[in-house]
Structure 1
Amino acid sequence: MEIVSKLRNLDAYPKVNEDFYSRTLSGGLITILSSVAIVFLFLSEIRLYLYSATETKLIVDTSRGERLRINFDVTFPALACSLVAVDTMDVSGEQHYDIKHDIIKKRIDHLGNVIESRQDGVGAPKIERPLQRHGGRLEHNESYCGSCYGAEVSDDDCCNSCDEVREAYQKKGWGLSNPDLIDQCKREGFIQKIKDEQGEGCNIHGFLEVNKVAGNFHFAPGKSFHQSFNFLQDLLNFQTEHYNLSHRINKLSFGREFPGAINPLDGASWAHQTSSGMYQYFIKVVPTIYTDIRGHKIHSNQFSVTEHFRDAVGYPRPPNGVFFFYEFSPIKVIFTEENSSLLHFLTNICAIVGGIITVAGIIDSFVYHGHRAIKKKMELGKYG
């Protein structure tokens, strides 16, 4: 019994007989408001506990020898698909022109409706038996070796495409005046494609794999177009200085998507009064690693961008096209999803409940004693 008595004396919460309670209207209102605040903050704390928070950390990027994937989706409302090409180059000296793999082109009309969708480089007219170098047609099981039409340097030279015929003529100093007579050019159907696509636009989307070094990729009137332009100028009444390169960037990202990623060029469009010129986007790529709550890592990139347009005037005259110049930040950003610990959650709950009850008690005491003091003064004034 002595131990029980000692424990009773340690009670920090002495009980008051209900007969001594004094309940007030202000106390009831304060109780309701404090209860609402406790419930609201309690639910907020549960939400923070159940949903992960993201911690951000910056480190020096020491990665080497990696490849960069560039995802793009760009629409040219007034440039035909047969005229637009994708080129890349970087500071290491690697260059690729008129890239066709992993790229899809969609022919669109002036209203933006899709006329045709095809993988780039696919869809040229097919000739079952192309012309061989020796003058005959390709026979069954025979290897194809196209004629260079007199521009062969040796008996082993073959020209299997319109570009190769043109290059052979160029080495000889000859002009390719009538490609309709060249079997390779006729088979590739380039001239007919340009005729068919007059007045159309083009949506081009896909991805590029490039070295992780500074460089650029750009959309411009294609190499094949420039090679064939001499005989197309009279045919189609084009002018080399005036391409309508107005465009809309539907999507542009570097690497895989991750939660919270913002691509600042998505939905951007540029329609300049002067159609010819050099549209330039200067991009700073920031390597990023996103680690989710399960520990899965997503290696990606963020980027910032500035824009500039350079008119095709003056000397030297800039090339026509839409250019994306990119370089890499030496800093890598690491995002990590983390959940609050159970102990931290319980500590916050106790702090919320105890804090609100304490503050509410102080307010109630202030209101109660203030009301009593005012009432007492009023009574003294009345009887005095």
Structure 2
Amino acid sequence: MISATKLKSVDFYRKIPRDLTEASLSGAGLSIVAAFSMMFLFGMELNNYLTVSTTTSVIVDRSSDGEFLRIDFNISFPALSCEFASVDVSDVLGTNRLNITKTVRKFSIDPNLIPTGSEFHSGPIPKVNKHGDDFQEEYSDGSDSLTAESFEKYAHQYSILVVNFFAPWCYWSNRLKPSWERAAKIIKERHDPEMDGRILLGKVDCTQEAELCRRHHIQGYPSIRIFRKGSDVKDNHGHHEHESYYGERDTESLVAAMETLVAPVPRESHKLALEDKSNKSVDTAKRPAPLTSGCRIEGFVRVKKVPGNLVISAHSGAHSFDPSQINVSHVVSQFSFGKKLSLRMLSELKRLTPYLGGSHDRLMGHSYITNRDHVNANVTIEHYLQVVKSEVVSRRSSQELKLLEEYEYTAHSSLVDSLHIPVAKFHYEPSPMQVLVTEVPKPLSHFVTNICAIIGGVFTVAGILDSILHNTLRLVKKVELGKHF
């Protein structure tokens, strides 16, 4: 068994009897300074240990979300009607999706971007299978030509006013014309305007009555509107509620649809309305007409991770558009790529990488308004977006934990004069590379080592300074005593 005396011989810290030591005022001052220095340096080292340190590298995109990319958007168009507003997607691989509706919502807005009603349920813009009669024969005008003045007169006179807003240069309008006139003639024979007074078919030439067509937000030709005289006449300053007709456009289908509209309306001279059971089952393919000329489009689409385009424009398989009357000015409230980040993930992102997140929604809050008084009003607005993915990874307790994936992009926008129908085009180009930000935690052993170095170093330096100061003072005292003797 080792004796206590032998164990004491390995003591690194041999003690000096207290009565052999001498305290000095200079030593006390240096001790206080050394203590504060230790505390200050300890605080700095602790802050450095707690501060996140990251490394940034550029690698080939290794996304876990596969080959698809989500695009979220919320865009307001003050002058593009929800009736024809279409969201289309295409890419370099040949993908071409027209009029996406499943994940897109539309809301009618006024020129000041204020909503004017509930969600606009348009559904897919239909492509009419039977548009006009296929045979040619002599026909006379059966519908009444309406002007701004006569339109108001007839709208208040007839319970149902069905109007064909057309343009003489329009291919689809010219195809509809024979069947429309024949249908109007048949309806007049069955429901004499003088004796019946329930329904009238009219037409408006939008090249002659441009203001009237603008008032009813006509952007595609031909547009068939159904105006009903109802209780809204008093509530809506004399205006009538109206719908758009999207059914077949041959004579037989038009006549059947008109009969279905007039059937529930009682005659002025009889209490009972004309009932036709066969016509009651006819689908007139109606839906509400837009209350205003503006539209807010919001939603998301999933696209392949290749260069492509997201295009918002006026689109229809059975209408023509006047490019000079289409205005795709817009205000972007949101346009972002990738999954939406929660508040917790956003705060974690800012903690780890304060410089990220600023370009996550580069277009947000920007307005792109074209001047309609410009000589060439056919203006397409293009946005060129270069998308880069940033992946933040945290390494803690020797484990790799992926925190979040974020897509940032640069945006360059321009106005382009076009001979075709103006569109709002967002051309996106995902980068094949990604930015990898990795958190590098500091080891606890490194922190402890530095603390020990701080304490030992300050203590040693303070001891050296105290020794120098003490010996200097003793030397000065000896010199002074020598002078006296």
- The TM-score, its normalising length taken from structure 2, stands at 0.53
Cα distance in 2 between the residues matched to 1:330 and 1:308: 22
Mapped partners of 1:55, 1:307: distance in 2: 29
Amino acid at match of 1:30: V
Unpaired stretches in structure 1, ≥5 consecutive residues: 125-145, 154-168, 231-238
Cross-structure match for 1:331 = 433
* Selected match of 2:310 from 194, 197, 217: 217
Per-residue Cα deviation, 1:133-156 (whole angstroms, up to 9, x for no partner): xxxxxxxxxxxxx87255589xxx
* Cα distance change on mapping 1:369 and 1:295 into 2, 3 Å: same
Q: Are the structure 2 counterparts of residues 59 and 7 from structure 1 closer, same or farther at C-alpha, using a change threshold of 3 Å?
A: same
Per-residue CA shift, 1:316-353, capped at 9, x if unaligned?
Answer: 64763332222232323333445433323323433444
Count, aligned residues: 326
Counterpart of 2:409 in structure 1: which amino acid? S
Q: For residue 68 of structure 1, what is the amino acid of its counterpart? A: L
Q: Distance in 1 between matches of 2:334 and 2:433?
A: 28
Classify 1:150/1:282 alpha carbon distance in 2 versus 1 (closer, same or farther; 3 Å): closer
Aligned partners of 1:93, 1:339: CA distance in 2, in Å?
A: 46
Matched, 1:205 2:298: yes
Question: What does the per-residue CA deviation read over 1:217-249, in whole Å, with 9 as the maximum and x for residues that have no partner?
Answer: 1333x203992546xxxxxxxx73551514134
Does 2:76 match 1:70?
no
Q: Aligned partner of 1:100: which letter?
A: T
Give the corresponding residue for 2:104. Answer: 103
- Corresponding position: 1:21 with 2:23: yes
Report the 3-state secondary structure (helix = DSSP H, G, I; strand = E; otherwise coil) of the residue aligned with 1:274.
coil
* Max Rg structure: 2
CA drift at 1:377: 12
Aligned mate of 1:179, from 186, 205, 224: 224
| TM-superposed deviation, 1:305 | 1.1
Give the aligned residue type for 2:338.
F
Work out whether residues 73 and 252 of structure 1, in 8 Å CA contact, stay in contact via their aligned partners in 2. Answer: no
Task: Give, as a single letter, the amino acid of the residue that structure 2 aligns with 1:310.
Answer: L
Deviation at 1:250, TM superposition (A): 2.9
User: Take 1:273 and 1:359, find their aligned partners in 2: how far apart are those partners?
Assistant: 73
1:253 paired to 2:345: no
Matched residue, 1:305: 410
SS in 2 for 1:174: helix
- Which residues in structure 2 correspond to 1:19-168 (within 5 Å)? 19-24=21-26, 26-27=29-30, 30-31=33-34, 33-41=36-44, 43-45=46-48, 47-48=50-51, 53-61=53-61, 66-77=67-78, 79-109=80-110, 112-118=113-119, 121=122, 148=130, 150=132
User: 2:339, 2:80 → 1: CA distance?
Assistant: 28
Q: Can you give the 5+ residue segments of structure 2 that lack an aligned partner in the other structure? A: 136-169, 177-220, 227-244, 249-283, 350-355
Shift of 1:214: 1.0
RMSD: 4.7
- Residues 110 and 149 (structure 1), Cα distance of their counterparts in 2 relative to 1, 3 Å cut: closer
Amino acid at match of 1:58: V
CA apart distance, 1:44: 1.4
Aligned residue for 2:319? 227
Check if 1:269 corresponds to 2:366. yes
Q: What amino acid maps onto 1:97 in structure 2?
A: L
Partners of 1:274 and 1:16 lie apart in 2 by 95
Higher alpha-carbon deviation: 252-261 or 170-179: 170-179
| Distance (Å, rounded) in 1 between the aligned partners of 2:48 and 2:405 | 32
Change (3 A) 1:90 1:360: farther
The AA in structure 1 aligned to 2:107 is K
Q: Deviation digits for residues 254-303 of structure 1, max 9, x if unmatched?
A: 34536535215153403446366333332222244444557554674523
Structure 1 equivalent of residue 386 of structure 2? 284
